[in-house]
Amino acid sequence: MIGLLQRVSEAAVRVDGQTVGAIGPGLMVLVCAEKGDTEREADLLLTKLLGYRVFSDEAGKMNRSVTDTGGGLLLVPQFTLAADTKSGTRPSFSPAAAPEDGRRLFEHAVRQARERHGIVETGVFGADMKVSLINDGPVTFWLRIDPVGAAR
């Protein structure tokens, strides 16, 4: 599983002109399942996202998590994070999970996030989404959880 997290002042997702998810201060996370990923990897990624210390403490150090701050969490499915860009000028998406697996794992992550965190909004799997955000910092991190035994 891959998560591209961005610390934001605000973020929103629109589908067909309608806002489907929006948060104030918190994390906007693009989420991608790769071949071989299971609920285990989705759970590990969520645990890391909720505990990742990217918010400033009283001393100005990145020492607080979205859980610590009570900020929002906007999860947006994005299979293109799995692109293989090693050769040519056109990406290959063969490393991405099959659509049905990607949807299942994204929905699992959302259910788990809603059980564990107060403010959780989402994009729509498979939709043409328009994502807007104000990146706070900017602060952006790419996180990856490899399947057990994977040779990546």
pLDDT in tens, 93-144: 999 999 999 999 999 999 999 999 999 999 999 999 999 999 999 999 999 9
Of the pLDDT bands very low, low, confident and very high (cuts 50, 70, 90), residue 151 is very low
Query: What's the pLDDT tens digit per position in 126-139?
Result: 999 999 999 999 99
By CB atoms closer than 10 A (0-12, 13-18, 19+), residue 145 is buried
Condensed to tens digits (0 to 9), the pLDDT of residues 59-87 reads 999 999 999 999 999 999 999 999 999 98
Whether 122 is a known active-site residue: answer no
Q: Which residue has the tokens 């299942």?
A: 104
**Which residue among the candidates 6, 19, 67, 79 is catalytic per the annotation?**
79
Nearest-CA neighbor of 42 among 30, 52, 33, 50? Answer: 33
Give the per-residue pLDDT at 147: 81
What letter represents residue 2's amino acid? I
Calpha distance 22→133 (Å, rounded): 9
Active-site choice (78, 106, 112, 122): 78
Half-sphere exposure in the Cβ direction for 37 (13 Å, CA): 33
Given 38, 47, 55, 80, the catalytic residue: 80
Question: Residue 56: CB partners within 8 Å, gap ≥ 6?
Answer: 62, 63, 64
At 39, phi and psi to the nearest 5? -60, -30
Is residue 79 part of the annotated active site? The answer reads yes
Q: What percent of the chain has pLDDT over 90?
A: 94
Q: Answer yes or no: 112 catalytic.
A: no
The whole-chain average pLDDT of the chain stands at 95
Fold of domain 2-144: D-tyrosyl-trna(Tyr) Deacylase; Chain: A; (3.50.80)
Q: How far apart are CA 126 and CA 104, in angstroms?
A: 12
Other C-beta atoms closer than 10 Å to the C-beta of 56 total 16
For residue 58, the tally of other CB atoms under 10 A from its CB is 7
Listed by start position, the domains of the chain span: 2-144
